[in-house]
Amino acid sequence: MKLIYYPGCTVKNHARNFDVSTVSSMERLDVEVEELSRWNCCGTVHCLASDNLINRVAPVTNLIRVKEAQASEFMTSCAMCYNTLKRANIDVKKRADALETLNEFMYLEETKYAGDVEVLHLLEYLRDRVTFEKLAARVKKPLAGLKVACYYGCLLVRPKEVAFDDVENPTIMEDLIRALGATPVPFPLKTDCCGAYHTVGKPEIIAERTDKIMGSAHEEQADLVIVSCPLCAYNLDFRQEDARRLNPDFHHLPVLYFTQLMALAFGCDESALRFDLHHIDPKPALAGLGLA
């Protein structure tokens, strides 16, 4: 059976490393992934105003596209898209009147949305459907000796209604990388905020956050940090020079998508990793352990 895949805009351009590593890894797991046809931007950032229905149109249009693909569920790997799509879905499922208004507004759509699609994050799909046991069995190059700090940020397991793991102390990524042969390090700041959109107007906030978060990972002797969000990835990776200016003792660490570690452990080649898209090159940290 095909799994419908919603990549998201950033994953298709600046975060192509997230896209190619996701698709390649799923291939190795014998999951046939089909990119959703005619998908549009998820809506980026869930709108908290319940009467501002225009912000529900983007996510709900995607849910309609999933129905049109003859599917009742789909997967996305981007934490931001997941959060926005899932929350919008929960919201319109609870409010029949809002959904009716939306369907009426989208009168060109041949398919009406009836709350009949489920949003899945890739991590929960791997844990619950593929299982980490099967995942471990597909590892060709165990990531032995690699110490990894798993960073969840804000969007993956918060608020509680979208959480597929413990809200305060999620461990799903740690479980995943153990299956790949790597070692998770304790990481007290793993659900801290990276500063998100302040990266545009107030990059100094990101410098401070990056210094704290990456500094904590370094103190725990992590070789690298993994994430599930392109905005976290950008802030924690590309703002490291700013963090260095703020704190001369700042230590550079590579930031990877969890899917890149999967692709690496499954023996996928460089075209599935795209390390050229990183600011801090992950290769030296991996080469030291014979992994790159």
Partner 1 sequence: MGGVRQTETEGGKADNQGQPQARTVTISIMGKRAQVPEDATIMRAIEHTGQQIIRGAGCREGFCGACGTIYRMPGDYRIHTGLACTTMVKEGMALAQVPYVPMEKAVYDLEALTPDVDTIKRLYPSIFRCVACGTCTKACPQGLQVMDYVQAAKRGDIADLMELSFDCVACGLCALRCPAEIVQHKVGILGKRLYGRYLRKESKELDARLQEVKDRKFDSEYAELMSLGREALSERYYARDSE
The smaller minimum CB distance to partner 1, of residues 106 and 136, is found at: 106
Neighbouring residues of 99: CB distance < 8 A, sequence distance ≥ 6: 60, 92, 93, 113, 114, 115
H helices present in the chain, as ranges: 9-12, 16-28, 54-68, 79-94, 96-105, 122-125, 132-137, 172-179, 198-201, 203-219, 230-238, 240-246, 258-265, 283-287
| Block residue for tokens 């208004």 | 101
| 58 near partner 1, rule: CB under 8 A | yes
Least gap, CB of 19 to partner 1 (angstroms): 11
| 39 near partner 1, rule: CB under 8 A | yes
Least gap, CB of 8 to partner 1 (angstroms): 8
Taking alpha carbons only, the member of 133, 131, 40, 149 closest to residue 88 is 40
- Any idea what DSSP says for residue 162? G
The smaller minimum CB distance to partner 1, of residues 82 and 250, is found at: 82
Interface size with partner 1, residues (CB under 8 A): 19
The smaller minimum CB distance to partner 1, of residues 57 and 114, is found at: 57
Candidate list 30, 108, 110, 201; residue touching partner 1; CB under 8 A: 108
Q: Kindly indicate which of the ranges 82-90, 101-109, 170-178, 183-191 contains the residues binding partner 1, using the contact rule CB under 8 A.
A: 101-109
The smaller minimum CB distance to partner 1, of residues 21 and 191, is found at: 21
Whole-number Å distance between alpha carbons of 73 and 75: 7
| 271 near partner 1, rule: CB under 8 A | no
| 50 near partner 1, rule: CB under 8 A | no
Bridge partner residues of 20 (DSSP): none
Q: Kindly indicate which of the ranges 50-58, 209-217, 223-231, 235-243 contains the residues binding partner 1, using the contact rule CB under 8 A.
A: 50-58
Q: Kindly indicate which of the ranges 32-40, 159-167, 204-212, 264-272 contains the residues binding partner 1, using the contact rule CB under 8 A.
A: 32-40
Candidate list 43, 170, 184, 254; residue touching partner 1; CB under 8 A: 43
Least gap, CB of 67 to partner 1 (angstroms): 16
Whole-number Å distance between alpha carbons of 97 and 92: 8
Within a 10 A sphere around the Cβ of 97, how many other Cβ atoms?
Answer: 8
| 111 near partner 1, rule: CB under 8 A | no
| 13 near partner 1, rule: CB under 8 A | yes
SS3 253: coil
- Positive or negative, the CA dihedral 176, 177, 178, 184 is negative
The smaller minimum CB distance to partner 1, of residues 12 and 140, is found at: 12
Phi, psi of 83 (to 5 degrees): -60, -50
Least gap, CB of 160 to partner 1 (angstroms): 27
Structure tokens at 170: 């999620």
Residues forming contacts to partner 1 in the complex (CB under 8 A) are 9-10, 12-14, 38-41, 43, 54-55, 57-58, 61, 105-108
